[in-house]
Chain A
Amino acid sequence: MNSSMLRRRSRVAGLASAAMLLAGCGSDNNASAAGSDNGAQASGSSACVSGTLNGEGSSAQKNAIDQVIADYIAGCAGTTVNYNPTGSGAGISQFIAGQVDWAGSDSALKDEPKDGVVETQAAAKRCDNNPAWNIPMVVGPIAIAYNLPGVDSLTLTPEVAAKIFKGQIATWDDPAIAAVNKGVQLPSTPIKVFFRSDESGTTENFTKYLNAAAGSVWTDEPSKTWPGTGEGREKSAGVSEGVKGTEGGITYVEWSYAKDNGLGVAKVNNGAGAVELTGESVGKAVEAAKKAGKGNDLKLDLDYATQAKGAYPVLLVTYEIVCSKGGIDADTTKLLKSFLTFFASPEQQQKLEDIGYAPLPSPLESEVNTAIQAIS
C-alpha cells in the first residue's frame, strides 16, 4: 500500500467531507434506494404520525424491526423510529429508567424479586403507576445450525440435542445420532459446539427448551449464560461464523443467521415426528402456548415440550414492553400505537418470514391488536 497515495486520497476525502459537514447538506432521504415499499404505511394508517420514537432491547428482533421501521417511515420525513439492539436486559433497564419509550425483550417482565427489585413493579412506576404490558410481536425461531458437508438432512430429538450440547456425544457418527437419522450417512467428524459468549435471550430460550423437553439430560436451570459445553463466540454473527468455518460445528442461533450463512438447519422431533423449521411450523408451536398474563398483558407461557403435530418448538418470542397508560407523552403514545399497529399488521408479519422470522398466528394477532388499541 502506497502511503502517499493513501494520504492524498484521504486528504481529498477529508476535505470533501469537512466541506459537506460545514454546509450541512447531508440527506436523510434514501427514498430512491428504499425501493418500492413506499406507501406501505398507507395500508396501516392513513397518514404519517410525526415525531421520534426510541426503543431498545433484544437483538433477536433486530432485523425484523429494522425492516418494519424502514417500511413505516418510508415517505414520512418527520417520523423517526430508532431501535437499539443492545440486549433484552439493557432494554428493560433503559425502559424502567425512562430512557426509551418502549423495550424489546425476549422474556416478559418478571414478577419475582431479584435483588429486591421486581421488574413489573419498577416498570409500573415508570408508567406513572400503570401496569406495563408485554405484547408479543416477533416470533423468532431458533435454528440448530450445523456444518456437515454431505449431510443435507439432520434430525435431532431433544435428548440427542441436549447430549450434544452437554458434550456427552463427541462425534457425528455416534449411535445416538444415527438412531434418529436412519439412512443418513454420518461422518466421524468430531462435534464442535459454539455458544454465545455474551449474555443472551437466545441462550435463555434455548436452555429453556432443552430443560423442558429433555429434563433428564439437561438438568441446568435456564439462564442467559451458557451452562453447556463448547466454545463461546460473541453474538449471533460470531457463533454462526464459527460454525461456518468449522467442519462438524453446531450451534443454536436465530434462523436468519443460519439462512444468511448458508448453514444446515436440523429438524426437531419432539415425539410426534421430525419437523422442519418453517414459518408455519413455528406458528403452530406459538398457538400451543398458554396465555400467562392478565387482560391485555399478553405474556405467553411457551410449551417447549409440545408434541403438537407439525409444531417446531425451539423458538423465542420477542415482546414489546409498553406502558398501558402514561409514562410517555400523548404525541409519542400516538406514534407508538401507530407504529405497533403497523408492526402487527398481517402484511408486515408475512414479510418477516422471508428474513428468518415467523408471522404471529392469527388468533394471537387479533389479541395483540386489541392490546395496542387499548394503550392510552
Chain B
Amino acid sequence: MTALDTAVADPLSQHLGRGRAVRNRVAAVAMYAAFALAVVPLAWILFSVLSKGFSAIVDAQWWTNSQRGITIRTPGGGAYHAMAGTLIQAAITTLISVPIALLTAVYLVEYGRGGRFAKAISFMVDILTGIPSIVAALFIYALWVTTAGFGRTGLSVSFALVLLMIPVVTRSTEEMLRIVPSELREASYALGVPKWKTILRVVIPTAWSGIITGVMLGVARVMGETAPLLILGPYTSSINMNPFRGNMAALPTMINQNRTESLSLAVERTWGAALTLILLVLALTLAARWLSRFSAVRG
C-alpha cells in the first residue's frame, strides 16, 4: 500500500454507473473471500496436528529421550533421536549447498551476466529444480552407495538433500543480488576497490538479510523432505549423533515408521513427530527473520 492509494482513497461514488460500482464491490468481496479461503486450510491443518499431537509433546521425555526399547505397545520415549538427526542432516546439507549456491548466484549476477555460460548454468539450475526428490535419492544411492560403496548414513541423506537445496538457494540469492542497486557497485569501483572485494564487502552484505532468509527457508524445506530418507536414511530408534556411521533417525522417518500402525500410541507419536517437525521449521523460520533483521545493513 503506498501513499498514493490512501490519497485517492476509494474513488467509488454516486457518479459511477451502477454496473461499475457493483463490479468493484464484487471484486473486493472476492478478494476477501480468497483470503479467507487460504486461511481455512492452514488453520485446519495446524489445528489437526496440534490437537492430535499435543498430548505427545507435552511429556518432558519427548524432548529428552529416544524411542530405544519402546514398541508401539509401550508408552514413553521421545523424539530426541529424530530431532537430533533432522538437525544434523540439515546442518550438513546447509554447509555443503550454501557455498556452492552462493557462488553460483554470484557468478550468474556478477560475472556471467547474460553470457552463454551463465545461460547454461541458469538452464541447469532450472533442471535441478525439476528433479523430484525421490529421483535425487535414487541417483545418490546409485552413485554414493552402490558405486562408491559407502553406507546409508546421515551423510548420504544430506547429499541427496543438497541436490534439492542448491537450486532453491541459488535462485533466491540470485534474486537478492539482482536487486542490489548498481550504483553501489559503481561507487565502489570508482573508489578503486577490486571487483571481488566489492562483491564480498558491498554486494553480499547489502543483500545479506535476503540471502539468509532464503537459506533458512531452504533449510526448512529440506527438513521436511521424506522421500530421500526412505531410500537413503534407514531409521533407528536409538540416538546416533555420528553422520558418518550407522543408521540415523529423522523426524520424517519417525513419522513414516509410526503412521503405518493403527494403535493409539503409534498414532499419537505420528502426530507428535509431525507437530515437532512443524515447530522446528517454524523456529528456524523465526530464527531466519530474527537473524536477517539483526544482521541487516542499516543505511
Contacts and interface: CB of A to CB of B under 8 A. Distances in A.
A348 interface: no
A63 interface: yes
Nearest to A237: B260
B73 interface: yes
Contact of B65 (A18, A30, A236, A240): A30
Contact of A26 (B47, B57, B65): B65
B24 interface: no
B145 A84 contact: no
A66 B72 contact: yes
A7 B286 CA distance: 9
Interface string B203-242: 0000000000000000000000000001000111111010
A30 B68 contact: yes
A237 B234 CA distance: 20
Interface string A45-82: 00000001010100100010011011001100000101
Contact of B145 (A74, A97, A235): A97
Contacts of A82: 234-238, 247
A153 interface: no
B43 A261 contact: no
Interface stretch (B76-84, B100-108, B110-118, B161-169): B76-84
Nearest to A244: B262
B263 interface: yes
6 contacts: A20-B80, A26-B64, A54-B247, A56-B234, A99-B151, A236-B260
B120 interface: no
Interface stretch (B173-181, B183-191, B275-283): B275-283
Contacts of A10: 278-279, 282-283, 286
Most buried by A among B67, B83, B259, B279: B279
B64 A25 contact: yes
B93 interface: no
Interface string A13-30: 111111011001111111
Contact of A14 (B68, B236, B282): B282
Most buried by A among B75, B81, B237, B241: B237
A255 to B, nearest CB: 13
A291 interface: no
A154 B152 CA distance: 46
B290 to A, nearest CB: 10
A116 B1 CA distance: 68
Given A1-B43, A260-B263, A26 B66 contact: yes
A86 interface: yes
B36 to A, nearest CB: 14
A324 B76 CA distance: 38
Interface in B255-287: 259-263, 276, 278-280, 282-284, 286-287
A247 interface: no
Interface string A283-314: 00000000000000000000000000000000
A87 B68 CA distance: 22
SS of A interface (majority): helix
Contacts of B234: 54, 56, 82, 84, 86
Contacts of B80: 20, 26-27
Contacts of A56: 234
A1 B151 contact: no
Interface of A: 1, 3, 6-7, 9-11, 13-18, 20-21, 24-35, 52, 54, 56, 59, 63, 66-67, 69-70, 73-74, 80, 82, 84, 86, 97, 99, 235-238, 240-241, 257, 260-261, 355
A260 B57 CA distance: 24
Contacts of A237: 259-262
A272 B64 CA distance: 56
Nearest to A93: B146
Contact of B46 (A1, A11, A18, A70): A1
Contacts of A257: 262
Contacts of B71: 63, 66-67, 70
B151 A86 contact: no
A64 to B, nearest CB: 10
A25 to B, nearest CB: 7
Given A237-B260, A237-B261, A15 B230 contact: no
A241 B278 CA distance: 26
Contact of B69 (A13, A34, A240, A355): A34
B175 to A, nearest CB: 26
B21 interface: no
Contacts of B263: 260
Given A28-B65, A67-B71, A235-B260, 8 more contacts: A13-B57, A14-B284, A16-B63, A18-B283, A30-B65, A30-B66, A30-B70, A236-B260
A15 B84 CA distance: 14
Given A14-B282, A30-B66, A30-B68, A21 B87 contact: yes
A34 B75 CA distance: 8
Contacts of B76: 30, 32-34
Nearest to B247: A82
A305 B284 CA distance: 59
A20 B63 contact: yes
A57 B60 CA distance: 33
A7 B276 CA distance: 13
A350 B235 CA distance: 27
A30 B237 CA distance: 11
Contacts of B73: 67, 355
Contacts of B109: none
A13 B287 CA distance: 13
Contacts of B199: none
B74 interface: yes
A268 B247 CA distance: 42
Contacts of B145: 97, 99
Contacts of B81: 26, 28
